Structure 1
Amino acid sequence: MSIVLPDATTAALGPDAPKPTSVTGDQREAALEVWTTRDGSTVTGVWECTPGTFTALRDGYHEICQILSGRATVTHEDGTSAEVGPGSTLILPDGWRGEWQVHETVRKTYVIVRV
């Protein structure tokens, strides 16, 4: 069996909610989980977040994501940063810590692999 999401850029996501790790802005986020393994070790879906800044920590899992729309600056705790936008691929390995500054609402697909 295969799972097809015809267009992740326009897929309806779940209800939006306040971003719990928001530092600045009244950020809201929403997601749609598309698939998960039976043991929960791998999850894939679509996520969206409104402008503002939030902290992020990848503890116990790796995340691979593809930016579909919007723009952000992703900054690692060591100060290195990258500008991301449509077409950018990010790999945030287990232990990654940093901050996202969302300039324009960001939508991404993601794969989470638990370690």
Structure 2
Amino acid sequence: MTTTALTTPELIPADDTARSAMTPSAYVTAETLRAGDPREREAIHLASDDEKFIIGSWEAQPYTEFIESYPGDEYARVLAGSVTLTGDDGVAHTYSAGEAFTLRRGWRGEYRVTETLLKQFALYLA
């Protein structure tokens, strides 16, 4: 790899171009899945050498899962669709296209994709 490649900014697509670079992924596990079939896909745009910091795009079809302990700190911006997050306190928060949200490591609750979701994310795994 050349030095130029390491220092050249790269565009992260935010439209259908984002979907064309995606490959199957598997963040949702059989243990956490409650309903639906997420048929997840992702594109990793940048990852640290130790893979503890990841920036990517992720898409999922409608599904519901219950997460006991979120694995890292995440910032996400919804590009299309919507997701509803309901924590232990029972309060539901729905995020739709154009909105952003954060999740802290250890968050516990229901993660429900209500419309096909396309999001960009930055995730730090401690």
Is this a same-fold pair by TM over 0.5? yes
Q: TM-score, normalised by structure 1?
A: 0.86
C-alpha spacing 1:78/1:48, structure 2 compared with 1 (3 Å) = same
| Unpaired runs of at least 5, structure 2 | 1-6
Pick the structure with greater CA Rg.
2
Distance in 2 (alpha carbons) for counterparts of 1:51 and 1:114: 25
Q: CA RMSD in A?
A: 1.9
Q: 2-side partners of 1:15 and 1:114: how far apart?
A: 20
Farther off after superposition, 50-59 or 102-111: 50-59
**TM-score normalized by structure 2?**
0.79
How many residues are matched? Answer: 113
- Cα contact 1:18–1:27 (8 A) shared by 2: no
Distance 1:114 1:73 in 2: 22
Match of 1:24?
35
Gaps of 5+ in 1: none
Q: Counterpart of 1:81?
A: 92
User: Could you tell me how far apart the structure 2 residues matched to 1:75 and 1:27 are?
Assistant: 18
Offset at 1:85?
A: 0.3
Tell me if 1:35 matches 2:46: yes
Please state which structure has a larger fraction of its residues in helix.
2
Instruction: Check conservation: 2:24, 2:39, Cα contact below 8 A.
Output: no
Q: Which has the higher strand share?
A: 1
Contact preservation (8 Å) 2:86, 2:111: yes
Residue aligning to 1:97: 108
| Poorly superposed stretches of 4+, deviation over 3 Å | 16-19
